[in-house]
Structure 1
Amino acid sequence: MKQSENDIKWIFGERGPARLLDKRRRMDASTYHNQVTMPQIRIGFIGLSTTGWAAIALFPSLQVPSVRSSYVIVALCTSSAASASIAAEHYGRQTGSPIKAYYGDDGVSQLVRDPEVDLVVVSIKAPEHKDPVLAAIEAGKDVFVEWPAGSSLEETTEFQRQAKAKGVKVMVGLQGRHSAASNAVKDVIASGRLGKVLSSTMVGFMSRESLYWGPTVNERREYIHHLRSGVSFAEIILGHQLDTFTHILGDFASVSATAATMYPIATIVDSKSTPLPTIHATSPDHVALSGILVSGALVSINYRAGYRTTPGRRRFLWEIDCENGSIRVEPAAETDNLMHIHNMAVYVCGEKIELGGTGLLAHLAATWLEYANEKHTQAVGKYATIEDAVKNRRLLEVIKHSARDGKTVHL
Structure 2
Amino acid sequence: MTTAATPLRVGIVGLSARGGWASLAHVPAIRAVDGLALRALTASTPASAAAAGAAYGVRHHADAAALAHDPQVDLVVIAVKVSTHRRLIEATFDAGKMVFCEWPLGNGDAEGRWLADQAASRGLRTFVGLQARATPAIRYLRDLVADGYLGRVLSTTLSASGISWGDITYPRKTYLLDRREGASMLTIPAGHTLDALQFVLGDFESLQATTAIRREQVAMHRKPDEIHRKTVADQIAVQGVLRDGAVAATHFRGGTSRATDFHWEINGTEGDIVVKGDAGGFLQYGQVHLCGARGERSELAPLPTPATYVQVPSLPEHGSHAFTVAHGYAQLVADLANGTSVVPDFAHAARLHRLLDAVEESAERGVRISL
Q: TM-score, normalised by structure 1?
A: 0.82
1:351 aligns with 301
Query: 1:153 touches 1:390 (CA, 8 Å); kept in 2?
Result: yes
Query: 1:43 touches 1:75 (CA, 8 Å); kept in 2?
Result: yes
Give the CA deviation at 1:229: 0.7
2:260 aligns with 314
Q: Give the partner amino acid of 1:164.
A: A
Q: Give the partner amino acid of 1:383.
A: V
1:372-387 correspondence runs (5 A): 372-378=333-339, 380-387=340-347
Q: What CA distance in whole angstroms lies between the structure 1 residues aligned with 2:119 and 2:186?
A: 26
Q: Deviations over 1:361-383 (max 9, x none)?
A: 231112111211222232x1311
1:235-384 correspondence runs (5 A): 235-269=187-221, 273-307=222-256, 309-310=257-258, 313-331=259-277, 333=278, 336-349=280-293, 350-355=300-305, 358-359=317-318, 360-378=321-339, 380-384=340-344
Give the CA deviation at 1:336: 4.9
2:112 aligns with 156
Q: What CA distance in whole angstroms lies between the structure 2 residues aligned with 1:238 and 1:261?
A: 15
Q: Secondary structure at the match of 1:220?
A: coil
The alignment status of 1:81 with 2:31, answered yes or no, reads no
The alignment status of 1:144 with 2:100, answered yes or no, reads yes
Give the CA deviation at 1:37: 5.3
Query: 2:2 touches 2:8 (CA, 8 Å); kept in 1?
Result: no
1:114 aligns with 70
Q: What CA distance in whole angstroms lies between the structure 2 residues aligned with 1:284 and 1:336?
A: 17
Aligned partner of 1:58 among 26, 29, 32: 26
Query: 1:81 touches 1:102 (CA, 8 Å); kept in 2?
Result: yes
- Structure 1 unpaired stretches of 5+: 1-33, 93-98
Give the CA deviation at 1:285: 0.2
The alignment status of 1:391 with 2:351, answered yes or no, reads yes
Give the CA deviation at 1:84: 1.2
1:25 aligns with none
2:312 aligns with none
Q: Secondary structure at the match of 1:61?
A: helix
- Structure 2 unpaired stretches of 5+: 294-299, 308-315
Q: Deviations over 1:377-411 (max 9, x none)?
A: 32x13112112211111111111111111111122
Ranges of 4+ aligned residues in structure 1 off by more than 3 Å: 34-38
Q: Secondary structure at the match of 1:301?
A: strand
Alpha-carbon spacing, 1:82–1:348, altered in 2? closer, same or farther (3 Å): same
Q: Give the partner amino acid of 1:150.
A: G
2:14 aligns with 47
1:209-228 correspondence runs (5 A): 212-228=164-180
Give the CA deviation at 1:35: 5.3
Q: Secondary structure at the match of 1:151?
A: coil
Q: Secondary structure at the match of 1:58?
A: helix
Q: What CA distance in whole angstroms lies between the structure 2 residues aligned with 1:324 and 1:79?
A: 53
Query: 1:38 touches 1:376 (CA, 8 Å); kept in 2?
Result: no
Q: TM-score, normalised by structure 2?
A: 0.90
Q: Give the partner amino acid of 2:131.
A: Q
Give the CA deviation at 1:240: 0.8
Q: What CA distance in whole angstroms lies between the structure 1 residues aligned with 2:61 and 2:147?
A: 49
Q: Give the partner amino acid of 1:295.
A: D
Give the CA deviation at 1:351: 2.2
Query: 2:189 touches 2:283 (CA, 8 Å); kept in 1?
Result: no
Q: Secondary structure at the match of 1:256?
A: strand
Query: 1:224 touches 1:231 (CA, 8 Å); kept in 2?
Result: yes
Q: What CA distance in whole angstroms lies between the structure 1 residues aligned with 2:206 and 2:338?
A: 38
Give the CA deviation at 1:185: 1.0
Q: Deviations over 1:330-366 (max 9, x none)?
A: 13x5x65432114211112122112276254231112
Q: Give the partner amino acid of 1:358.
A: E
Give the CA deviation at 1:193: 4.0
Q: What CA distance in whole angstroms lies between the structure 2 residues aligned with 1:72 and 1:368?
A: 11
Q: Secondary structure at the match of 1:340?
A: helix
Query: 2:150 touches 2:271 (CA, 8 Å); kept in 1?
Result: yes
Q: Which has the larger radius of gyration?
A: 1
Q: What CA distance in whole angstroms lies between the structure 2 residues aligned with 1:132 and 1:81?
A: 16
Give the CA deviation at 1:138: 2.2
Q: Give the partner amino acid of 1:404.
A: E
Q: What CA distance in whole angstroms lies between the structure 1 residues aligned with 2:166 and 2:67?
A: 38
Query: 1:152 touches 1:228 (CA, 8 Å); kept in 2?
Result: no
Query: 1:181 touches 1:329 (CA, 8 Å); kept in 2?
Result: no
Alpha-carbon spacing, 1:41–1:91, altered in 2? closer, same or farther (3 Å): same
